Homo-oligomer: A and B are copies of this chain.
Amino acid sequence: MMKNAAVFGAGRIGRIHATNAAALPGVSLRFICDPVPDAAASLAHALGAQVSTPEAVLADASIDAVLIASPTDTHSDLIHRAAAAGKHIFCEKPVDLSVPRAMDCAAAIKAAGVACMIGFQRRFDPTFAEAQARLARGEIGAPEMLVVTSRDPGAPPTQYLKGSGGIFRDMLIHDFDIFRWILCSDIGDGGDAAETLYATGSVLVDPEIAQVPDIDCSVVTIRTRKGRLCQINTSRRAAYGYDQRFEVLGSKGLLQCGNHRPTEVVQSDAANVRADKPEHFFLQRYREAYRLELAHFFEGLHSGAAFRTSVADGVEAQTLADAAAQSLASGKVVAL
């Protein structure tokens, strides 16, 4: 049976989700809502949808699901209202920059009995998902150590950073989710959880970022209850593009996830042998992941199966981001 959907937010990420939703079989994209009328109108027109408002959408009994792709500080309110209206929810990460507010969202969702999936799209990336599947099948034995490299091609404007919640909540939130997914998922071993976390960082890319205040490169160490070890390294600037890799060492081997490249051309000349840089940024790198995560959301609505990225996952990643911010501020190791 067709699922009717509406999208809140017609910005960069809203356009991606709306376009993917419109192309999914079994999904009818009905409404686009955005406080900027032109943004909503042009997106709605391109996809054969209508412009609307959250109020109207939530009051429309024919709507099954809402996709929340509006600014972070609107998530909590929209989740509460959508849950109260009995709508299923897909919400972009993060749930909310405040862990208590995110936990309130989780409670509201549970109380309303609606389904909610958080947009940790990296879990749907074909490369990352294949690595996780092999790990879960035991192909490299028990996981022991995870190294995550996560670097943006360039720093966003400081104006953006001021409302971002800081590098840990804004950028590493994805990496904390990768940590939980890879080192803590129950793969027949009872799962695991973070026990201590240490974070430090610096302003090396742009001195203005210190005025935000924020940092632009960071390293995080997490040790789990079972003694597994995780290192995350991140920078707001990788001159060579978007660097998104992780590797997990197991008792029987290693799984490495490399970058994706636009083409497989290799050029050799008198200077050296050259391959493409990685895909430029997240819209390119995770194009397929965004498509697959939305397909997963609607499949879940159809089948009733649990989502791979629940609101609890959102809360947990946020909790690690808070711990990292606390570690950076105090210069100390944080117990979880």
Contacts and interface: CB of A to CB of B under 8 A. Distances in A.
Contacts of A253: 239-240, 267-270
Nearest to A267: B255
A268 B241 CA distance: 9
A267 B134 contact: yes
Contacts of A235: 144-145, 249
Interface stretch (A3-11, A61-69, A195-203, A294-302): A195-203
A229 B223 contact: no
Contact of A265 (B127, B149, B237, B263): B127
A240 B228 contact: no
A236 to B, nearest CB: 11
Most buried by B among A219, A241, A243, A332: A219
Nearest to A133: B265
Interface string A258-290: 111111111111111111111000000000000
Given A239-B253, A251-B237, A272-B275, A196 B259 contact: no
Contacts of A260: 264
Contacts of A231: 147, 219, 221, 231, 233
As for how many copies of this chain the complex holds, the number is 4
Interface in A123-143: 126-127, 130-131, 134, 139-142
A13 B201 CA distance: 39
Given A145-B219, A147-B233, A273 B265 contact: no
Interface of A: 23, 25, 46, 126-127, 130-131, 134, 139-142, 144-145, 147, 149, 151, 196, 198, 200-205, 217-219, 221, 223, 227-231, 233, 235, 237-241, 243, 249-278, 331-333
Given A126-B263, A131-B263, A239-B252, 16 more contacts: A142-B204, A144-B204, A145-B235, A198-B198, A198-B221, A204-B227, A219-B221, A221-B221, A238-B268, A239-B268, A240-B269, A254-B268, A256-B265, A256-B266, A271-B277, A274-B274
User: Sorted from nearest, which 7 A-B pairs have the closest CB atoms?
Assistant: A202-B227, A253-B269, A240-B268, A258-B264, A127-B263, A254-B268, A272-B274
